[in-house]
């Protein structure tokens, strides 16, 4: 499959080029040249297929022939090494738990898939690729874990000192091997700006192949469509009018679900659930897209003022506002609403949600008010212990640490402190 840049100022790229570059040279996001629906029989008989078979059929058109069928099956098997449970909350609402992977957030799926694609493309290459990534929390851990030990790939993660949770910091700083953590004296935006500057710095790009590992990268974005299909498989025989409610930040996850819809998955509608950062909610009301600086919230992985994947969503619906509106609704909620939802889920349904999942639950409830015939599935995007402080404060119950966390919590942190762009540059040129 070839990919074009949404800015349309550069030639098309192969899957391999799109993965290695991350973002096109005209700063546009890559988008597949065509999306071919799967046959109706695929969806009618989807319960006969295993998750790895579903994933293979769904993604092969985007990846072949640059990765062979055999290699793709291998990559999928390694990526999907954990469960994707769908839990019933009540008759109208279920939740898709995406936190059973190694770093306990949904980003594990995309990070593991992308790491293996990049490792594959780079196996005969003498030049190493450096993945440079800024994180406010979950991305760094998923990328570090996904790329650990991948030959020919070095990973450099920038995180803001003192601004990520203890568990998140351990996930970034205790792995070693080809993973380096840089602890930046600053906030997330400082990390992000340093990374952006590095991608444009010819002193660096002449000497090394730099790439990104956030949802801009097609190999991280597209595999996120898998678990929408797995959920459909679990529910389609017993539920009608399935609607996905996705707690959204950069809108990569929801946009992957929309690709599953383009493949023919009979899903009725999508709901983007947002916190105080709600440029898309406003857009759907006013048709005026107005990016804003971010506001800090307790669902901090969704604190995004200008979601990068929104351009892809526009493209999916042919830049037609009415088509978009008939497929997407969006609501936003305050931290206070979010805490009340966490409490309601716990008291009424005995379900412990993290703040992001709780925003998703609220989105489902809101949608059902005007669409009572829907069955809403909200995505629980991270394990509640990743946000231990808020969760324990709200539900007033101590949480048991899962084994993935117990295994790292006592390991020693190794990070290099930096305070300026020049220190980042020196570090990269020295390695
Ligand atoms: C990254 C993240 C999100 C937002 O996902 P997008 O694809 O950026 O919309 C939501 N919840 C959690 C826990 C995350 O880590």
Token code pair at residue 423: 């220190």
Top mutation candidate among 168, 216, 223, 247 for ligand 1, by most atoms within 8 Å of CB: 247
Residue 277 near ligand 1, beta carbon < 6 Å: no
Interval between CA 390 and ligand 1 midpoint (Å)? 17
Rg of the chain in Å (alpha carbons)? 21
Residue 232 contacts residue 152 (beta carbons within 8 Å):
no
Side-chain half-sphere exposure of 111, counting CA atoms within 13 A = 23
| Ligand 1 atom with least separation from CA of 251 | 9
pLDDT at 215: 85
Atom of ligand 1 nearest to the CA of 137: 15
Does the C-beta of 374 come closer than 6 Å to ligand 1?
Answer: no
Q: Are 95 and 379 in contact (CB under 8 A)?
A: yes
b/e 253-262 (16+ beta carbons within 10 angstroms → b)? bbbbbbbbbb
Whose CA is closest to 19, among 209, 262, 289, 233? 209
Which residue is associated with the tokens 């599953």?
260
Best of 107, 168, 225, 258 to mutate for ligand 1, by most ligand atoms within 8 A of CB? 107
Instruction: Using DSSP, state whether 271 is helix, strand or coil.
Output: strand
Is the shortest distance between the CB of 138 and ligand 1 below 6 Å? yes
Pocket test for ligand 1, best of 212, 250, 278, 313 (most atoms within 8 A of CB): 250
pLDDT of residue 431: 60
The finding on whether 273 has its CB within 6 A of some atom of ligand 1 is no
For ligand 1, the distance from its centroid to the CA atom of residue 377, given in whole angstroms, is: 16
- pLDDT value at residue 199: 87
Question: Best of 145, 274, 278, 356 to mutate for ligand 1, by most ligand atoms within 8 A of CB?
Answer: 356
Distance of CA 24 to CAs 59, 212, 217, Å? 21, 11, 10
| pLDDT tens track, the chain, 431 positions | 999 999 999 999 999 999 998 889 898 999 999 999 999 999 999 999 999 999 999 999 999 999 999 999 999 999 999 999 999 999 999 999 999 999 999 999 999 999 999 999 988 777 889 999 998 778 999 999 999 999 889 999 999 998 888 888 999 999 999 999 999 998 887 888 899 889 889 999 999 999 988 888 999 999 999 999 999 999 999 999 999 999 999 999 999 999 999 999 999 899 999 999 999 999 999 999 999 888 889 998 898 888 989 999 999 999 999 999 999 999 999 999 999 999 999 999 999 999 999 999 999 999 999 999 999 999 999 999 999 999 999 999 999 999 989 989 899 999 999 999 999 999 999 86
**Which residues have C-beta within 8 Å of that of residue 295, sequence separation ≥ 6?**
275, 276, 277, 303, 305
Residue closest by Cα to atom 8 of ligand 1? 250
Centroid of ligand 1 to alpha carbon of 252 (angstroms): 8
CB atoms under 10 Å from CB of 368, counted, come to 18
The CA 354 to ligand 1 mean position distance, Å, reads 12
DSSP character at residue 413 = P
Assign residue 380 a region (left: φ > 0; alpha: ψ between -120 and 50; beta: otherwise): beta
Q: Which CATH number does 83-104+221-399 carry?
A: 3.40.50.1100
Q: Is the CB of 249 under 6 A from ligand 1?
A: yes
End-to-end Cα distance, the chain:
34
**Do the Cβ atoms of 374 and 267 come closer than 8 Å?**
no
The CB of 381 under 6 Å from ligand 1? The reply is: yes
């Amino acid at each position: 499959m070839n990919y074009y840049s949404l800015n349309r100022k550069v030639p098309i790229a192969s899957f391999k080029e799109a993965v290695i570059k991350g973002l096109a040279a005209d700063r546009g996001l890559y988008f597949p040249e065509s999306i071919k629906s799967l046959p109706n029989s695929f969806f009618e008989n989807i319960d006969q297929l295993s998750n790895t078979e579903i994933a293979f059929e769904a993604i092969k058109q985007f990846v072949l022939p640059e990765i062979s069928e055999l290699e793709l099956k291998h990559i999928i098997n390694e990526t999907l090494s954990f469960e994707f449970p769908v839990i019933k909350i009540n008759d109208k609402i279920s939740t898709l738990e995406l936190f059973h992977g190694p770093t306990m957030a949904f980003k594990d799926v995309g990070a593991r898939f992308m790491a293996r694609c990049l490792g594959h493309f780079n196996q005969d290459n003498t030049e190493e690729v450096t993945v440079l990534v800024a994180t406010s929390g979950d991305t760094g851990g998923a990328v570090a874990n996904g790329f650990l030990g991948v030959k020919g790939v070095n990973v450099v993660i920038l995180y803001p000192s003192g601004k990520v949770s203890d568990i998140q910091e351990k996930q970034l700083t205790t792995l070693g091997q080809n993973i380096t953590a840089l602890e930046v004296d600053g906030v997330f935006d400082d990390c992000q700006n340093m990374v952006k500057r590095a991608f444009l710095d010819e002193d660096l790009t002449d000497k090394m192949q730099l790439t990104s590992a956030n949802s801009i990268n097609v190999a991280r974005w597209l595999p996120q469509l898998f678990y929408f299909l797995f959920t459909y498989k679990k529910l389609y025989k017993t539920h009608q009018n399935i609607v996905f409610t996705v707690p959204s930040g950069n809108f990569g996850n929801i946009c992957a679900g929309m690709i599953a819809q383009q493949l023919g998955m009979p899903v009725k509608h999508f709901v983007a659930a947002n916190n105080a950062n709600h440029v898309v909610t406003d857009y759907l009301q006013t048709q005026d897209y107005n990016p804003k600086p971010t506001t800090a919230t307790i669902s901090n992985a969704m604190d995004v003022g200008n979601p990068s994947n929104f351009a892809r969503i526009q493209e999916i619906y042919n830049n037609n506002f009415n088509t978009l509106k008939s497929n997407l609704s969006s609501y936003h909620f305050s931290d206070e609403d979010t805490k009340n939802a966490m409490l309601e889920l716990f008291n009424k349904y005995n379900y412990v949600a993290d703040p992001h999942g709780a925003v998703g639950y609220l989105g489902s409830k809101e949608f059902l008010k005007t669409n009572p015939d829907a069955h809403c599935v909200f995505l629980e995007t991270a394990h509640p212990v990743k946000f231990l402080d808020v969760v324990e404060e709200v539900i007033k119950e101590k949480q048991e640490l899962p084994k993935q966390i117990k295994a790292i919590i006592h390991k020693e942190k190794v990070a290099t402190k930096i305070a300026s762009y020049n220190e980042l540059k020196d570090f990269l040129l020295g390695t």
